[in-house]
Amino acid sequence: MTNYSKQFYAAIQKYLFIFLLLSVPFSALSQYSFQGKVIDELQQPVQGVLVVIGKNQKVAITDTLGNYNFNFSSQNYLLSFSHVGFIRKEIRVNIYLPATTILQRKDELLSETVVKAFERNTSNKKVAAALTVLSKNMLDRLGTNSFVASVNTVPGVKMDERSPGSYRLSIRGNLLRSTFGVRNVKVYWNGIPFTDANGNTYLNQLSLNNINRIEIIKGPSGSMYGSGTGGLVLLSSGDSSLTKQKWVDLQTTAGSYGLFSANATFEQVGKNASTLSFSHLQSDGYRDHTNMKRDVVHYNGTYSLKNWRKIKTNIFYSDLYYQTPGGLTIAELNANPKQSRPAAGVFQSAETQKAAVYLKTIYVGLSQGININSRWNNLTGIYGSYTDFKNPTIRNYEDKYEKGLGARSVFQFKSGFLTGTIGGEIQQGFFASGVFANKAGTKDTLQFNAAIQSRQYNIFAQSDIELPHHFFINAGISYNNFYYGYKRASNINPAKDNSNFKPVFIPRVSLLKKLDLLSVYVAVSKGYSVPTIDEVNAGNDIFNVTLKEETAINYEAGIKGDLIKNKLWMDAAFYFFSLQNTIVSRRDASGGDFYTNAGKTKQKGAELSLHYLPVNNIYNFIRQFKLSSSFTNVRATFDHYQQGTTKFDGNQLTGTPPNVFVINADIVYANGMYINTSFSYTDHIPLNDANTFYASSYWLYFVKLGYKTTLGASTEANLFFSSERSPKNPYSLGNDLNAAANRYFNPSAPQRLTIGIQCRIKGK
């Protein structure tokens, strides 16, 4: 090499060295500093959260206070937060990085699941009550377009589907009053009453697309939630995340018996969040005359006006139509389980009379949450609803509308070992009904019309005290007042009447001991339930002032928590429930419903659920393997119950299976494949109070196979196939109770197949 060449290369090395020295401070100057904090739903800091830029550039780990900080050369990037036991979260940073990020715990770690029952907002194992939370993943896991399969995995809870669109719900065997619909179970939606002042809950108008979470509390809960002996359901929708993100979610499914659904959702989350969705569902049904169609539009919004004030809106419109095929006798069932109720005697068939339900509802809820100061907060909500209900039946044609207004306000005080809660709730309902002769699905001669006004209110107070040695006392009481006013508006025999129920106090007290991994508790509660409008005025011209309210006492003990930390969760409850003035349904010779008080019932039960998570590792080929099972045993009998000269003492409670067993298994693979399975057994069910007719026991199998993948940088796709099958044919997911002419049976499809695809498109 020449001297010139050596000098040339030496000069290059010199200037390169100088350039590198000079570039260091300029690179440092181009760095931007970022910092933030990660907390959970309970506002507690989360330590050990891995903070990553892009796909794999690790930049920070949160400390014991949940804080993190890092430097980066750009102000625009994708940031993700991950931690074992929490749902991974991504946010798009564009100069602005939120000061606080909320991570939601995974469904698998049930001991840390945050529950809202009794306004506690704490982990499940700190609440002295038998309760279950169904997350969005749990509701969607079997791909059935219905709440039925998921709800029926909960021990002590049974959801019936007599035909597509016709739901009933019972908790701990309390189904006697529910000839149709949901009764004796109070339902709230985003903290505001969804059950109206008339006692009706139109759960069948909701789509799975509208609900992100269901919390089911078993046993009387009147100390804070008013009338009811069966239990309580808390529905939630919307997103509490502070992440800035937009997305569009599209889903469609098709399946057996003309099943087709289409859902579209636009969601934007951040400081202010909003969700707008449209859902369509239709089906021809397994039996003749079981077509159904439902369209739902739903808007949910959350607006953070200031750090201490948040407003939520919940606007919902549903248009539901479903045909009612009617019950079959055992002979008709064996001859042709797919047929609808045939003509008999003077009565036409269900198909000839075009028996169906037309149901339209608009519901508007508005709530405001305020942090008054460091110790006091308040949540106040109001709602208004309007329902248009038309029901041509084999006997007649009912045309009614219901208007409802209500409000609920809760103040809470927290200071050290004491949490105090006070509040009140008021509901007002207006009910107008006309009953006509039914001429092949059209209104004919007016038989009668009536107007009913309903009003109920309750005032409640509760205290939660944390004692030494991890003991927790919860004590609450409410004052409840109910009124129905009736006016027969027809020109013939006009009349006015009312039914004032005696105001009552409803107490509840519990004691919980928190151990290392487990919690044990005992609770005593009183139950009180007034009859609904449809029971005191059961589609006829009689206002049944003799129908009395039910009263109950419930004793309960339970144990729940981790048997193996973050691996094996157990929840067991044992109860004794005694009900007086039990309301039962009857059918007259024409098939019309009426209700009466029928003595006492006694219900002794045991409920057990186990959840096992042997594999939960994002680096394995099998990333997650989850097993769960539930078992329900109920010894429910009539006590001091006589009909005419016949005594039914000791008979099994109508509509209640003594044993139910469910086992689930879910597997998630690294390549995006997943499998969800469920296997259940339901014992025989008595169909009348005399216990002379039973529905046979049956097995039911579910399997769902799916594949999740990403399409480009902004689209996630989910393709799935599901199958539901019972080797028992015919079997039923919901029969008629105490039916006239022994028409008890509503057979269900022995097998149903569904295929679907979901696309989630992220916005900028």
State pLDDT tens for residues 70-81.
Answer: 998 888 888 989
State pLDDT tens for residues 518-543.
Answer: 999 999 999 988 888 878 876 667 78
Longest dimension (CA), the chain: 126
Among residues 249, 238, 91, the alpha carbon closest in space to that of 764 is found at 91
With residue 6 as reference, give the H or E element that holds it: helix 3-29
The residues that bridge with 634 in the sheet, in sequence order, are 605
For the chain, give the number of residues. 764
C-beta separation of 601 from 576 below 8 A: no
Q: What is the mean pLDDT of residues 466-494?
A: 87
Confidence band for 100, pLDDT divided at 50, 70 and 90: confident
With residue 21 as reference, give the H or E element that holds it: helix 3-29
SS (H, E, C) 502-545: EEEEEEEEEEEEECCCEEEEEEEEEEEECCCHHHHCCCCCCCCC
**Range of weakest confidence among 11-15, 395-399, 589-593, 669-673:** 11-15
What ranges make up the beta strands (E) of 148-244?
Answer: 157-163, 166-171, 185-189, 192-193, 213-218, 231-236
Question: pLDDT at residue 111 above 50?
Answer: yes
| Helix-, strand-, coil-residue percentages of the chain, each rounded to 5 | 10, 60, 30
C-beta separation of 436 from 399 below 8 A: yes
For residue 744, the number of C-alpha atoms closer than 13 Å in the C-beta half-sphere is 21
Residues of the chain with CATH 2.40.170.20: 193-762
Separation in Å, CA 482 to CA 115, 125, 549:
29, 34, 10
Q: Residue 595 has what pLDDT?
A: 79
Question: pLDDT at residue 361 above 50?
Answer: yes
Q: Which CATH architecture has domain 193-762?
A: Beta Barrel (2.40)
Could you please report the per-residue DSSP string of 295-319?
Answer: EEEEEEEEEEEETTEEEEEEEEEEE
Indicate the SS3 state at residue 17. helix
DSSP letter, residue 266: E
The pair of structure tokens assigned to 404 is: 């409802």
Rounded to the nearest integer, the mean pLDDT of the chain is 88
Q: Residue 115 has what pLDDT?
A: 86
The pair of structure tokens assigned to 220 is: 């009387």
Separation in Å, CA 169 to CA 166, 186, 549, 656, 738:
10, 11, 20, 12, 17
Confidence band for 232, pLDDT divided at 50, 70 and 90: very high
End-to-end distance of the chain based on CA atoms, in angstroms?
Answer: 57
| Global confidence as pTM | 0.87
Q: What is the CATH number of domain 14-102?
A: 2.60.40.1120
Per-residue buried b or exposed e for 713-747, using 16+ beta carbons within 10 Å of the residue's own CB? eeebbbebebbbbbeeebbbbbbbbbbbebbbbbb
Whole-number Å distance between alpha carbons of 568 and 582: 39
Alpha-carbon Rg of the chain, whole angstroms?
A: 29
C-beta separation of 574 from 606 below 8 A: yes
Separation in Å, CA 132 to CA 115, 168, 529, 531, 560:
9, 19, 23, 27, 11
Confidence band for 27, pLDDT divided at 50, 70 and 90: very low
Q: Tell me: cis bond preceding 730? Omega within 30 of 0 counts.
A: yes
Q: Residue 339 has what pLDDT?
A: 97
State pLDDT tens for residues 454-469.
Answer: 999 999 999 999 999 9
Question: pLDDT at residue 179 above 80?
Answer: no
The residues that bridge with 304 in the sheet, in sequence order, are 310
- Dihedral Cα 51, 56, 57, 59, nearest 10 deg: 20
Among residues 354, 357, 346, 356, the alpha carbon closest in space to that of 440 is found at 354
State pLDDT tens for residues 259-318.
Answer: 999 999 998 877 788 999 999 999 999 999 999 999 999 999 988 887 788 899 999 999
Whole-number Å distance between alpha carbons of 165 and 618: 40
C-beta separation of 190 from 237 below 8 A: yes
- Best-predicted range by mean pLDDT among 35-44, 318-327, 442-451? 318-327
Confidence band for 567, pLDDT divided at 50, 70 and 90: confident
For residue 26, which phi and psi values (nearest 5 degrees)?
-70, -35
The pair of structure tokens assigned to 508 is: 């509840």
Whole-number Å distance between alpha carbons of 33 and 633: 59
Q: What is the mean pLDDT of residues 429-446?
A: 92
Q: Which residues lie closer than 8 Å to 742 by C-beta, 6 or more apart? A: 329, 330, 693
Q: Residue 630 has what pLDDT?
A: 96
In terms of Cβ atoms closer than 10 Å to its own Cβ (0-12, 13-18, 19+), residue 52 is: middle
Q: What is the mean pLDDT of residues 112-130?
A: 86
State pLDDT tens for residues 609-666.
Answer: 999 999 887 778 998 899 999 999 999 998 887 777 788 889 998 899 999 999 999 9
Whole-number Å distance between alpha carbons of 733 and 747: 7
CB count in 10 Å sphere of residue 763: 12
State pLDDT tens for residues 744-761.
Answer: 999 999 999 999 999 999
The pair of structure tokens assigned to 47 is: 């330590």
State which amino acid sits at residue 706.
G
Question: pLDDT at residue 214 above 60?
Answer: yes
Q: Which residues lie closer than 8 Å to 728 by C-beta, 6 or more apart? A: 696, 697, 698, 699, 750
Among residues 578, 196, 581, the alpha carbon closest in space to that of 402 is found at 196
Question: pLDDT at residue 4 above 70?
Answer: no
The pair of structure tokens assigned to 628 is: 């769960």
State which amino acid sits at residue 547.
L
Q: Residue 95 has what pLDDT?
A: 81
For residue 242, which phi and psi values (nearest 5 degrees)?
-95, 0
Q: Residue 211 has what pLDDT?
A: 93
Could you please report the per-residue DSSP string of 383-418?
Answer: EEEEEEEEEE-SS-EEEEEEEEEEEEEEEEEEETTE
Whole-number Å distance between alpha carbons of 717 and 589: 54
